[in-house]
Structure 1
Amino acid sequence: MHHIIYMSRAAHPMSDNDLEFILRQARLNNEQRNITGALAYGDGQFMQIMEGEKADLDAVYEVVSRDPRHKGLTKLADKEISQRSFSDWSMAFQTLSPEQFYELAGYTAPNELNEQAHNLSAADNLLFQMMNTFGLTQRA
Structure 2
Amino acid sequence: MTETTLRQIFYVSRGAPGVDVDQILQQSRHNNAVDGITGVLWHDGDHFLQVIEGPQSSVAATYARIAGDPRHRDLTILSDRTVGAREFGYWSMERATRSLNDGDAVLARIERRLADAPDTLRRAFAAAAAR
TM normalised by structure 2 equals 0.73
Counterpart in 1 of 2:40? 38
More displaced 10-residue stretch of structure 1: 3-12 or 88-97: 88-97
The C-alpha deviation readout for 1:30-49, integer Å capped at 9, x for no partner, is 00011100001004000000
What are the superposed Cα offsets for residues 68-89 of structure 1, whole Å, 9 maximum, x if unpaired? Answer: 0121100111110111111110
Q: Distance in 2 between matches of 1:54 and 1:121?
A: 23
Displacement of 1:124 in angstroms is: 4.9
Q: Equivalent residue of 2:39, what SS?
A: strand
- The residue aligned with 1:87 is 89
For residues 12-91 of structure 1, the aligned pairs below 5 Å read 12-14=17-19, 18-91=20-93
Q: Which amino acid aligns with 1:75?
A: I
SS of 1:96's equivalent in the other structure is coil
User: Deviations 1:115-135 (Å, cap 9, x if unpaired)?
Assistant: xxxxx64125546x59xx7xx
Cα distance in 1 between the residues matched to 2:14 and 2:36:
26
* Number of the residue aligned with 1:116: none
Q: 1:125 to 1:2 in 2, by over 3 A?
A: farther
Alignment deviations for residues 35-69 of structure 1 (CA, whole Å, 9 cap, x no partner): 10000100400000001011110001001001101
Q: 1:43 touches 1:96 (CA, 8 Å); kept in 2?
A: no
Provide the alpha-carbon RMSD of the alignment. Answer: 2.3
What TM-score does the superposition give when structure 1 sets the normalisation length? 0.68
Would you say how many aligned residue pairs link Structure 1 and Structure 2?
Answer: 107
Cα distance 1:54–1:124, how it changes in 2: closer, same or farther (>3 A)?
Answer: farther
Q: 1:83 to 1:124 in 2, by over 3 A?
A: farther
Question: What are the ranges of 5 or more consecutive residues in structure 1 without an aligned counterpart?
Answer: 105-119, 134-140
